[in-house]
Amino acid sequence: MRTRYVTGSPNWIDLGTPDIDRAAAFYQGVFGWDFVSAGPEAGGYGMFRSGGETVAGGMSIAPGEGGPPAWTVYFQSPDAEATAKAVRAAGGTVLSEPMDVFDLGRMALFADPAGAGFATWQPGANKGLDLVDGPNSLTWAELYTPDVDAAVAFYGSVFGMETSTMPMPGNTGTYIMLNPAGQGEEATFGGVVPLDLDPVEAGEGPSWLVYFEVPDTDAAVAAAERLGGTVRLAAMEMEAVGRMAKLADPFGARFAVITSTPPEEAA
C-alpha cells in the first residue's frame, strides 16, 4: 500500500468505540499513537497520530448507535453523491447519506450487497491519511465475503477497482488482490478472501479488516493482551509475506498486525 490519493484507494480509516479515551490508551500502548481531539465542534472526533502524522481517526459512539465497535475503511471518491448512486445501483446499501465535514471533505457510509460496511471520503481541505505502509500505520485491507466474484464486481462497478492474483500460501487457492483503476499491481492495497475459508472470520460475517505494519508482531500481540485486548489468531508466519496476528481491542473492534517480509527476502 502507498499513499495514493486516487479514486478507489483507501484514504482514511477510523475507529468507532464506546470509550475513545480508553481506546486511545490501548492503541497508544500497542502502537505508540497519540490521540488529538479535533475540538468540541467535532463531537468528540479526533486523530490518532504517529510521529506527528495522522494514521487514523476515532470517536466515541453511544451503545446502539452506529453499530458495534469497529474499524471502518474509507475509499476515495471524487463525488460522494455519485458514489452513493453507484452503490445503490450495484445492490449495496447507503447507511448514511453524503454529508459535509466542515470544509475538510464529504463522507458517506455504505454496506456492500453481502453486508460488509465501508465508507467513502471525498477530499476537501483534508486529503486523507498522512502515513500508510510505515511503522505502526495502515498497510493492508482485507475483505471477507461469501461471494468473491460478486464482491469484485461490486467494488469494480462502484470505484473501478481492478484485480490481480497470487497463489495463496500452501497452494490452497488463489488470492484476489485489489488496486485502484489504472494504477497497476504495484498499487495493490488489499485482498478478497472467501468467508468460509477463514474460521476466525466466518463467525463475524462479511467485513473489511485493517492490517497495521508493526516492527515486531509478537511484541504488539503481548502489548494488546496486557492492555485488555484479545488474540483472535496467534502470531504466525506466512511465507514470503510476513509474521501476522489477528487481534481485537478491549471493546471488540477487530484488526490485524503484520511485520512484513522485506521485498528482497520475499522474492
Residue with cell 502524522: 53
pLDDT digits (tens, 9 = 90+) for 77-126: 999 999 999 999 999 999 999 999 999 999 999 999 999 999 999 999 99
Boundaries of every domain in the chain: 10-123, 137-266
Just give the CATH number of 137-266: 3.10.180.10
DSSP string covering 21-78: HHHHHHHHHHH--EEEE--GGGTT-EEEEETTEEEEEEEE--TTSSSSSEEEEEEE-S
Domain 10-123 has CATH 3.10.180.10: yes
The conformation of residue 214, written as its DSSP 8-state character, comes to -
Rounded CA-CA distance 162/62 in Å is 37
Note the pTM of the prediction, 2 decimals.
0.95
C-alpha cell at 58: 476515532
> Over 60: is that where the pLDDT of 267 sits?
no
10-123 and 137-266 share one CATH topology? Answer: yes
Q: Are 44 and 81 in contact (CB under 8 A)?
A: no
pLDDT digits (tens, 9 = 90+) for 135-192: 999 999 999 999 999 999 999 999 999 999 987 766 667 899 999 999 988 899 999 9
